[in-house]
Amino acid sequence: MSEQELTEIEISLSNAEYAVRNLECLERLYKNKDFKHLVLDGYFVKQASRAVMGKAEPAMQTEDAQGEMVRDIDSIGRLKQYFVAVRAMGELARKSIADDSKTREEILAEDL
């Protein structure tokens, strides 16, 4: 195997380790009572509900008010999507670390 292949494996491992660290951070956040209160319950549930309900309020029927509520709803969805992506990438990375580590060991063994 070439030096380039080893370098690619090292980069893949580094990226995977970064994704796993992000997942571990997210897992710790999800266990934190303040995060649960402010983000999971406060932002994802209560703020989302207020924005959705606000769209039906007669006083909020102007184009600007409706646009603001849509932006609020979209921002909640984007943050949730980010957390879902962090989880998915981290879980895939956990699996790929073992494979990449094995491949790296094989490459190094061939060079001996």
Q: What is the pLDDT along the chain (112 residues), one digit of tens a residue?
A: 578 888 899 999 999 999 999 999 999 999 999 999 999 999 999 999 999 999 889 888 898 989 999 999 999 999 999 999 999 999 999 999 998 898 888 888 886 6
- Using CB atoms within 10 A of its CB, is residue 65 exposed (0-12), middle (13-18) or buried (19+)? middle
pTM of the entire structure?
Answer: 0.81
Token readout for 61 is 């029927």
Closest CA to 73 of 84, 65, 85, 62: 65
